[in-house]
Amino acid sequence: MKKGYIAVVAGLLLSSTAVAQQDGKKYIEQLCGCYDVTFTYAETFAPDTNYKYHDRKTSHARELIIPIESTDKNMVLQHMLVISDNNIIKHWREDWVYESPLLLNYTGDNTWVKEKQEKQDVAGKWTQTVWQVDDMPRYQGYSAWVNNNGKIYWENTADAPLPRREYTTRSDYNLMRRTNRIIPTADGWVHEQDNDKIIRTSKGDSLLVQEKGFNLYKKIEDSKCAKALAAWEESVAFWQVVRKEWAYYIDKQSTLSVKEMVNDERLFEHLYVVEADWRGKKMDDKQLAKEVRKVFELFVSGGKTALK
């Protein structure tokens, strides 16, 4: 009886195994392409029986995911959102790093703390960093790509700011604890989410409501995203400067804090003004770097204490 039980447990453990580094990179590469996307979110459970659930949200979009950097241990994927042929938006970005020693932990109030990870904790694992439309950090976490009886996925739980679909419309919670599950499929991939909407105070965290997210990426012909690729190529030099500036601040600070507004405008709005002047040939590359630095000096600050 005991031997049988042990055998069953051993079989279950063996059925879910981390995949090799290059296989993990292969699955990340499969995320790239042109997609029709369906975004669906529904609130599912609240501990307060008087809580009024928000309506289910479903939206549709076309999205291009471009590999803008690629090495054996690093992948940078830029998302471009296609509203129409004449309305294309630089969307979020995701960086993937194999066995990264550092983690940006979101603590609330637009603040991230840089933490050093033990080597054994990140061994064989890929860290995903998600960045906002202005390349500000959102959340970061690490996990191995797993083969569970033939089902491939990557899964991690990380604290994050409110999603863009809610941060301008809600003030009843101030942090989202996201469990992200990325699942490659035969014709695209799925971004499945189990999210906790958290109220964080000096006394601790309390759960407002849980949410299920199911974002389905269905691959279509690359030609249907041709204008999105052209739009990215027109702006790539500008966003390289912005990414370099973020890297500078993140590298030198152990904490990173970003103001929500300056002069009644958000960070991305200030950057868009600089980008428009740059596109209009009102500045050279040297002046562009100076203007981007000025914007960062308005919004970004941090501490220089030792890493945790």
pLDDT score at 33: 97
pLDDT score at 16: 62
Residue 82 lies in a domain: yes
Residue 203 lies in a domain: yes
Instruction: Give the domain CATH number at 150.
Output: 2.40.128
Residue 84 lies in a domain: yes
Q: How is 211-270 classified by DSSP, letter by letter?
A: EEEEEEEEEE-GGGGHHHHHHHHHHHHHHHHHHHHHHHHHHH-SEEEE-S-BTTB-HHHH
Is residue 18 within 8 A of residue 124, CB to CB? The reply is yes
From 112, 150, 144, select the one nearest 128 (Cα to Cα).
144
Helix (H, G, I), strand (E, B) or coil at 127: strand
Does this model's pTM top 0.75? My answer is yes
> How many domains is the chain partitioned into structurally?
1
Residue 141 lies in a domain: yes
Residues of the chain falling short of pLDDT 50: 1-2, 5-14, 305-308
Residue 50 lies in a domain: yes
Residue 279 lies in a domain: no
From 181, 183, 151, 194, select the one nearest 16 (Cα to Cα).
151
pLDDT score at 46: 98
Domain range for 95 is 12-224
Tokens standing for 32? 């790239």
Question: Mind listing the pLDDT tens digit for each residue in 257-302?
Answer: 999 999 999 999 999 999 999 999 888 889 999 999 999 999 999 7
Residue 296 lies in a domain: no
Residue 276 lies in a domain: no
